[in-house]
Structure 1
Amino acid sequence: MDRRRHRLIPHAIVLGLLTGLITVGFHLAVDMGDAFRNRLIALAHQSAVNSPWIVLGFTLLAVIVSAGLVICYAPEASGSGIPHLKAILLDNRPFRWLRVLIVKFLSTLIGSTGGLVLGREGPSVHIGGAIGQGLTTLWPGKGSLDRSVLVAAGGGAGLTAAFNAPLSGLTFVLEELERRCSSLEFFAAAIACLTADMVCRAVLGQYPVFHFAVSGVPPLNQLIAFIPLGILSAVFGSLFTYFLLWGQKLTERSFCSKWFWWITLAMMITITAWQKPELLGSGQSLINSMLDSEQLTLQQVLLFIALRFVLTIGSASSGAAGGIFMPILALGALLGWGVGMATQLLLPELNVDSRLFAVIGMAAYFCAVVKAPLTGMVLIIEMTGNYALILPLFVACFTALLITDWLGSPPVYEALLEHDLRKERTQ
């Protein structure tokens, strides 16, 4: 075992370097696409005639091209790609790694630029796994076991580079990708995640993804207020999984239904872009604006939750590449903010901070949808740089997990994988 570990070190380092570099480039490209979309919307507002039609035409074209790339060249690159990666690790599918990498990068970039409410984090995991497969293919002398090790480690490195969160990437490998993980997988994933994180921090800086400072440890008398947040996260998380699977089935009925979905989605994105462009995209800027200075009313929060919920389901079911990782966190932040405001109104003596509830809500909602509580908790701690959140995170996340189990809602990535396998068996 020691010899095999030593043999894996150079491969894991190269895997981390390549995944970090490509993921950072992916990050910067998506940011440039978001800036381009915002400039286009601003120019359309200044136009005297036909201004909304400019945005509608651009959005519809982006949706068609983004989904068309996937349909024509790499159907396995649709969505986040995490279910496909899980199938690869179960030896259920071949891995056309180079095609997936290229189509994933381009489709996510085009769709995100067009305003699809999808994130780059799931695709970063898929891209990292593709790079792991590529190393297995191109590096001489690799066996079948090393293939699984490097694909899983690449997925963890992709998540690490997407969030600047090495422990989260490693936990995701252990909890979601390789649940029967041996010490060999753990060793390779740890090296790849740390290497990818160093690349990411060297290029993008060492600041946490979300800007939120906790003034001391939340008092114990506030912990009970996080139980309702966990319950609501479980209910809305179960609904999210149900409607996501429903959307997948609906768009697969015929090509006409897919076109109808694309046109309807483009119209909804255009209306949102015209009124509230900050609600488009992955949701990271929306979360940061909430945690920095945004003061939302309860009515605004409810409206934003409804819009983001529908747009996320619509975007994820469009057939384009793009993840639901960050959109899930954005929905959780909005839900947490709403629960915090309701707690302020009903129990003013607790003196709660809605921003704290927004942060805890991200982990609770993630836990309800993905059912990976350790990844959710570690991710939020790393993304905020606040270890004082551990107690409210435990209360909200495990409440969400217990209620979601009671409701019978499956983990979203496993449900999507089962849906894909069922579809293949019927074809």
Structure 2
Amino acid sequence: MDTRIDREIEEHPWREALFSGQTWVRRSLFLMAAIATGLVALLFNLADRFSVTFRAFLLKGESLWGLEIDSQTGTGIAMGLSIIGIWLAMTLRDRFFPGTQGTGIPQVMASLNVEADDPLRQSMLSWRIAIGKALLLIIGIYAGATIGREGPSVHVGACLIYLIGCWGHFPSWAVQRGLILAGGAAGIAAAFNAPIAGTVFAIEEIGRSFEKKNVGLIMLGVAVACTACWVYLGDYVFYGKLNPSLTSPSQWLVIIPVAIVAGFLGGCFSRAVVASTLWVNRTLRSHRVLLPLGLGCGLAGLGLASGGMSYGSGYDQALGILQHDAEVTFIYPLTKAAGNFISLASGIPGGLFDPSFAVGAAMGKLSAPLFPGVDPRAISMIAMTAYFTGVVRSPITSVVILLEMTTARDMAMPLFMAAVIAYESSKLISKTPIYEALAEIFLQDLRTKQTDKSTA
């Protein structure tokens, strides 16, 4: 790795900061990449929003562009799209876009574990992967996969901002980690309009360390990407402004059982996804058609059993629970979690944030009658934080992102307590955090393929 830029910055800080043309080129390239990351997150957001309208057209008989279809026929079409869509996404991924599998966050984490000049990094961060990730995510969204947008936003953002290092001659510390962390943080922040959570997630989960040199890059990338989204969407609150609270000391006792159960279930989900990923990777080598079709049929079956509620990210359902006290049935969190499990196990691009929050919100809503007198929205927020913490084991991010998504400042301490309890509860069943485990699987698979190529 070229350290000449490092020496110049160290020896001539004023000249490099203010008067170096190369420095201003680097800054311009970084800003363009951060804007592009924000626009990609906006594209994913709009695609997800329109998919809700599209599914209402299929499943509820609502009009779309002046067209109408009866719900029975639409249900059949939705099931067919699930089967064909999962098969198509998995096939395109394996044939044309290797390296795009999974949520994208483990891939970004894995890229930080290899040197910048290691050829393996090109198998994780490239223009081909950025394009493939976006294309396959959109296929998955309209196939009805139970996926979120944040993972692909992180992966594409890391690709975009890292790849400018090939043009701009950045310092070695930025090429090794800083640009990747900035891209990942910008992607997740822009996906949810949560700049603080995006910054925290990059430090807590993606980088798993605090690196003072990289903080400025991370914060700048986040600020620019979020601003790019604001131009179209405005400075919105993801779940809308809420003001629930726990109004007496006895109500705080609700946190303990809800956080223990939700955190443990999140840990079970995490462990199941890691185990199924290993199984799918092995089985896919000999069943490249049957396995994708089988997973698609599973997703279609869940859609039929749940009346279409298992399809999609779950954002609308979580929003309805938090803002309008919408009713849910016991089958909803089961089918939503099962749909997210199948989608993640298939390895198609897609995230788990939105579905996890939807499952947590439903768990809280369903358990609210057990705690009379407590605001159901408060219980839902506690369950959302706990379940999400159980799944990803990033307790700080879990608290910060829910607070940014709702502006519910009175829930800060209850969510902190719920996250800590859920974190410990999840560790009882899931020894390794999901992203860390998936990153290791992905990296090991890449190294095995590299070894096979070199010995062939």
Question: What TM-score does the superposition give when structure 2 sets the normalisation length?
Answer: 0.84
Amino acid aligned to 2:313 = S
Conserved 8 A contact 2:185-2:199: yes
Question: 1: CA distance between counterparts of 2:178 and 2:412?
Answer: 31
Aligned-residue offset at 1:54: 2.6
Choose the corresponding residue for 2:260, options 212, 219, 231: 231
Q: Is the 2:150–2:353 Cα contact (8 Å) retained in structure 1? A: yes
CA shift digits 1:148-193 (9 cap, x unpaired): 2111101000001000010001001110112233222111101111
Deviation of the 1:325 alpha carbon? 1.8
The answer as to 2:118 corresponding to 1:59 is: no
CA distance in 2, matches of 1:212, 1:411: 31
2:164 maps to: 135
Number of the residue aligned with 2:42: 24
Q: Does 1:363 align with 2:385?
A: yes
Cα distance, 1:166–1:227 mapped onto 2, change above 3 Å:
same
1:329 aligns with one of 351, 357, 366: 357
Q: Which of these residues, 337, 343, 348, is aligned with residue 320 of structure 1?
A: 348
Gaps of 5+ in 1: 345-350
Alignment of 1:337-356 (within 5 A): 337-344=365-372, 351-356=373-378
**Per-residue displacement from partner, 1:107-135 (whole Å, max 9, x unpaired)?**
01111111000111111011110111221
- Give the one of 74, 78, 82 matched to 2:105: 82
Change (3 A) 1:270 1:391: same
Say if 1:34 and 1:113, in contact at 8 Å, map to a contact too: no
Contact map agreement 2:87 2:296 (CA 8 A) in 1 = no
Q: Mean alpha-carbon deviation: is it higher for 334-343 or for 166-175?
A: 334-343
1:395 aligned residue (417, 439, 442): 417
Amino acid in the other structure paired with 1:343 = F
**Structure that is richer in helix per residue:** 1
Q: Aligned partners of 2:133, 2:71: CA distance in 1, in Å? A: 37
d(CA) in 2 for partners of 1:315, 1:131: 25
Give the distance between the partners of 1:195 and 1:149, measured in 2 at CA: 16
Q: Deviations along 1:189-208, whole A, 9 cap, x unmatched?
A: 01111111112222112221
Residue 166 of structure 1 aligns with which residue? 195
**Given residue 404 of structure 2, which amino acid in structure 1 is its aligned partner?**
E
Rounded Cα–Cα distance in structure 2 between residues aligned with 1:375 and 1:121: 13
Q: Is the 8 A contact 2:86 2:296 kept in 1?
A: yes
Residue number in structure 2 paired with 1:348: none
> Residues 202-227 of structure 1, C-alpha deviation per residue, up to 9 Å, x if partnerless?
21122211035215664332111111
Structure-2 separation of matches of 1:168 and 1:48: 40
TM-score by length of 1: 0.90
Q: 1:200 is matched with which residue: 220, 229, 239?
A: 229
Secondary structure of the corresponding residue to residue 253 of structure 2: helix
Cα distance, 1:376–1:164 mapped onto 2, change above 3 Å: same
Deviation at 1:319, TM superposition (A): 2.5
Alignment of 1:146-295 (within 5 A): 146-147=174-175, 148-214=177-243, 218-255=247-284, 257=287, 259-274=289-304, 275-295=306-326
Which consecutive unaligned segments of at least 5 residues does structure 2 have? 1-9, 63-67, 450-456
Q: Report the equivalent of 2:121.
A: 94
Query: Hey, what's the Cα distance between the residues in 2 that align with 1:160 and 1:187?
Result: 15
Query: Is the counterpart of residue 126 in structure 1 residue 173 in structure 2?
Result: no
Question: What's 1:347 paired with?
Answer: none
When residues 61 and 392 of structure 1 are mapped into structure 2, their CA distance, relative to the original with a 3 A threshold, is same
Partner in structure 2 of residue 377 of structure 1: 399
Shift of residue 104 of structure 1?
0.6
Residue 337 of structure 2 corresponds to: 309
> 2:58–2:70: 8 Å Cα contact kept in structure 1?
no
CA distance in 2, matches of 1:210, 1:395: 21
Distance 2:350 2:131 in 1: 13
Aligned residues: 417
Shift of 1:392: 0.8
Alignment map for 1:68-79 (pairs within 5 Å)? 68-79=91-102
What is the one-letter code of the residue matched to 2:392?
V
Sequence identity of aligned pairs in percent?
27
- Structure 1 position 5, deviation (Å): 7.5
- State the SS of the aligned residue for 1:254: helix
Which of the pair has more CA radius of gyration? Answer: 2
Deviation string for 1:28-52 (max 9, x for gaps)?
1232233223323345995498664
> 1:18 and 1:425 mapped to 2: Cα distance?
31
CA deviations over 1:306-325 (Å, ceiling 9, x no partner): 11121111111113111112
- Answer yes or no: is the 8 Å Cα contact 2:185–2:198 preserved in 1: yes
Report if aligned partners of 2:81, 2:142 keep a CA contact under 8 Å in 1.
no
Distance 2:178 2:202 in 1: 10
Give the corresponding residue for 1:39: 57
Give the Å deviation of 1:394: 1.3
Decide whether the 8 Å contact of 2:244 with 2:410 is kept in 1: no
| Aligned-partner Cα distance in 1 for 2:255–2:310 | 26
Q: In structure 2, what is the Cα distance between the partners aligned to 1:51 and 1:158?
A: 34
Tell me which residue corresponds to 2:452: none
Q: Report the more deviating stretch, 63-72 or 161-170.
A: 63-72
Decide whether aligned partners of structure 1 residues 309 and 381 sit closer, same or farther in structure 2, where only a CA change above 3 A counts: same
Q: CA RMSD in A?
A: 2.5
Instruction: Provide the C-alpha distance between the structure 2 equivalents of 1:424 and 1:94, rounded to a whole number of angstroms.
Output: 10
1:405 Cα deviation (Å)?
A: 2.8
In 1, the alpha carbon distance for the partners of 2:181 and 2:114 equals 12
**Relative to structure 2, which stretch is displaced further, 126-135 or 6-15?**
6-15
1:126–1:281 CA distance, 2 compared to 1 (3 A): same
Change (3 A) 1:137 1:356: same
**In the TM superposition, what is the alpha-carbon distance from 1:24 to its structure 2 partner?**
0.9
1:413: Cα distance to partner? Answer: 0.0
Instruction: Supply the AA of the counterpart residue of 1:330.
Output: A
